[in-house]
Amino acid sequence: MDKKSLFKLQKNKKINLLSLNFKKMQNFCLFLGEKKFRAQQIMHWIYKKFCKNFDDMINLNFSCKEKLKKYAVIKSPIIKFQELSKDGTIKLGFLFNKKIVETLYIPDKKRVTLCISSQIGCPLKCTFCATGTLGFTRNLFVEEIIVQVWYIMKKNYFEKEFFKKKITNIVFMGMGEPLLNFKNIKTVLKILTHKYGGNFSKHKITLSTSGIIPALKNMIKKIDISLAISLHAPNDKIRNFLMPINKKYNIRNLLNVIKKYLEYSKANRNRVTIEYVMLKDINDQKEHALELSKLLHNISCKINLIPWNIFPFSSYASSPMENIINFSKILIKKGFITTIRKNRGSDINASCGQLVGKNNLKNILN
């Protein structure tokens, strides 16, 4: 068991078992005076049967159940709201410490993507993103990130009314910059990819980042999942304006780290995704497309063009679809795999860049 968990026990606080990866669960079982194999049984009940009542875990003996009730808990989340879009997207508001964190369930023909959040608010203040207007409160704990996935998996297991299809893909593209919560994200990924945990393939998990270079360097050889880079500009001048973090970690240094990451990554299949939000008259002109193609000429990548989605008090406008299509044609002609992201959930403010939380939005407007 780690020092943090031990400290909680010393303070008579129960450990939320959703915060433990398999190795830590084994250590916790040893702390309880149980054998390591109990960890496998407990995680089976949590992640395969979605059971949170220790008395219902029938293959655990009475003594083990009593110790679990004394020292541990499996907390269900508080759901503040659940909204259904006309396109089938569902937006859920998880309540953590009186703050709303939003998660998206996005069903498609062949897959279901769950878009999860990693922070309450975001410190990066990207000028085109609603989450940045919230400011930053704190990083989400491991259990607060895991419960976003666990809750939907549980709903899919027991109920089929709204969550009819199982999650096939997970994307860290919700509220916050995941690499600023690197320590907790590492543990989350261990839980999600472990056979006794979420059992998701590393190929099916994508982490989107604005480019926190020290954390990206730490990922090399340690974390192998699909990577998406929020680039959004063909040069430092525009990116400095759109994304202040670029003044600290510029494009050239970011691309150098990406190339290094791709040398070791198997999950990315030798290709990273470049995300590029299309802003009218800011970064959507022909010269921007040509500059972007030149910038990325030696990076193995797929470029995902994202129509910008409006939010209150923003001065930006989305590029006309004609501009976006012409932009993509230039990139395709230059040899890049280029896609235009579908606009999902816009009628419930669930599209890219719109996640802010109803209660949080009220605080901004008042």
Query: Known catalytic residues?
Result: 102, 352
Binding positions for S-adenosyl-L-methionine: 176-177, 208, 230-232, 309
Nearest to 296 by CA among 230, 234, 206: 234
Nearest to 231 by CA among 298, 297, 283: 283
From residue 34, alpha-carbon distances to 8, 65, 171, 253, 326 in Å are 19, 11, 36, 49, 63
Nearest to 121 by CA among 137, 143, 110, 106: 137
22 and 10 Cβ atoms separated by less than 8 Å: no
**Residue 94's beta-bridge partner residues?**
79, 101
**Residue 307's beta-bridge partner residues?**
278
Burial class (CB in 10 A: 0-12, 13-18, 19+), 108: middle
From residue 154, alpha-carbon distances to 8, 149, 240, 305 in Å are 27, 9, 42, 33
Separation between Cα atoms, residue 226 and residue 265, nearest integer Å: 8
